[in-house]
Structure 1
Amino acid sequence: MRTVVTEVKELLDRLPEESGYEDIQYHLYVMAKIRQGIARAEIEGIVPHEEVEKQFDCVFS
C-alpha cells in the first residue's frame, strides 16, 4: 500500500515546475475527496448507473 507521503511526492513530480501553493493545495484537496468517496462507496455501496438513469427519468419526464 502506498503511503500518503509517496502519493504527494508522485503528485509533485507530475505538476509543472511553475505550480504555486494554491495549485498544489487544490490537487491535494481533490485527491483527498476522491479517497473519501472511494472509502464511502466501499462502506455504503454504490448505485449502478442504470438505476440512477431510471431515478432521473422519473424526475425529469
Structure 2
Amino acid sequence: MSTAKQEIMNLLATMPDDCSLEDILYKLYVIAEIKRSDDHVDAHGTISHTEAERRLNKWLNP
C-alpha cells in the first residue's frame, strides 16, 4: 500500500510537464472520489443489477 505522498508523486510523473495546477487538482479529486467509493463498497457492499432495476423502476416508469 502506497502513501498519499507516493501516490501524488506517481501521478505527477505521469502528467505532462505543461499541465496546469487545475489539471493536477482535478486528477487528485477523481482519485479521492474513487477511493471514497471503494471504501463505501467495502463498508456497505453493493446490490445486484436486478435490485437496482427494481429500485429505479419507480422513477423510470411512474
Identical aligned residues as a percent: 31
Residue 22 of structure 1: aligned partner:
22
For the residues of structure 1 that align with 2:28 and 2:39, how far apart are their CA atoms?
Answer: 17
For the residues of structure 1 that align with 2:2 and 2:41, how far apart are their CA atoms?
Answer: 20
Cα deviation, residue 19, structure 1: 0.5
Question: Once superposed, which parts of structure 1, at least 4 consecutive aligned residues long, lie more than 4 Å away?
Answer: none
Residue 3 of structure 1: aligned partner:
3
Cα deviation, residue 25, structure 1: 0.4
Cα deviation, residue 2, structure 1: 0.9
Q: TM-score, normalised by structure 2?
A: 0.80
Q: Which amino acid aligns with 2:24?
A: I
**Relative to 1, partners in 2 of residues 1:49 and 1:14: Cα closer, same or farther, differing over 3 Å?**
farther
Structure 1 counterpart SS, 2:13: helix
**Cα RMSD (Å) of the superposition?**
1.4
For the residues of structure 2 that align with 1:7 and 1:38, how far apart are their CA atoms?
Answer: 16
Structure 2 gaps of 5+ residues are none
Number of aligned residue pairs: 61
